[in-house]
Chains A and B, each alone.
Chain A
């Protein structure tokens, strides 16, 4: 599979998960350089399979709060930080699973539990979208693949 097809799978997965599970219509094809520098929730998720790797996601806190509110059917102001972060982890888990299912539909993979990270570089194949309330950047880095060299620091 080429980097282009991995990128396509990543983009389709981000859009599909946001639309079906979070009722968000994402604006795609944004350059990674314009990703928000505002405070973000950072999630990393290791996966085993063929090939193994790591999925990372950065979601602007403003977007994370609204997305969590929609997901849980609650008022954004009533949500706690742990609730918002838990929904962000679910979002990362779903995007990662959707990407891997598209890339390797015949290979079983195993996702580790998503973890909040304080600082991590989103590397490998990267996709940035606008959710309407803040940027989401997702990146998938597979160990045995030749990935694009796009890398930047997410904070």
Chain B
């Protein structure tokens, strides 16, 4: 089965890198959407179904924390699992983001296999 993933990050370079890393990792990707902030992500999610969201925290406008709050408050979208990708590996931040509804947390820098494993974990992909 191939999956549809949304990458939300204000940096086009980072979005491009994450997309490439997912592809290189061997994760089965059927479509990769991109959004530059939380607002754009929410707009896209109302039009397109995705299996998982990968989001940065620090973004102008609707940031990653607010995106998670809005997803949790939206009956249609709350079931879409989100993984936070961030440079911030502090315990407080990770706890807060998980309590806001993030299903996973990947700290930059990361290896491709780490991101793939986290995606497969939240999607319940059986281990080979």
Chain A: residues with CB nearer than 8 A to chain B? 16-17, 19-21, 68, 71-73, 83, 86-87, 89-90, 93-94, 96-98, 100-101, 104-111, 113
Contacts and interface: CB of A to CB of B under 8 A. Distances in A.
B87 A93 contact: yes
Interface of B: 11-14, 16-17, 20, 58, 86-93, 96, 107-111
Nearest to B93: A108
A154 to B, nearest CB: 22
Contacts of B14: 90
A132 B89 CA distance: 28
Contacts of B20: 72-73
The 9 nearest A-B residue pairs measured at CB: A97-B87, A101-B89, A20-B109, A108-B92, A21-B109, A17-B109, A86-B13, A94-B108, A87-B13
Given A20-B109, A101-B89, A106-B90, 8 more contacts: A20-B110, A21-B109, A73-B16, A106-B91, A108-B88, A108-B90, A110-B58, A111-B88
Contacts of B110: 20-21
Contacts of A109: 88, 90
B17 A96 contact: no
B88 to A, nearest CB: 6
Contact of B87 (A87, A98, A108): A98
A94 B109 contact: yes
Nearest to A18: B109
Contacts of A104: 90
Contacts of A106: 90-92
B64 to A, nearest CB: 12
B13 A97 contact: no
Nearest to B107: A101
B109 A86 contact: no
A109 B20 CA distance: 29
Max count, chain A CB within 10 A of own CB: residue among B17, B91, B92, B109 = B109
Contacts of B91: 105-106
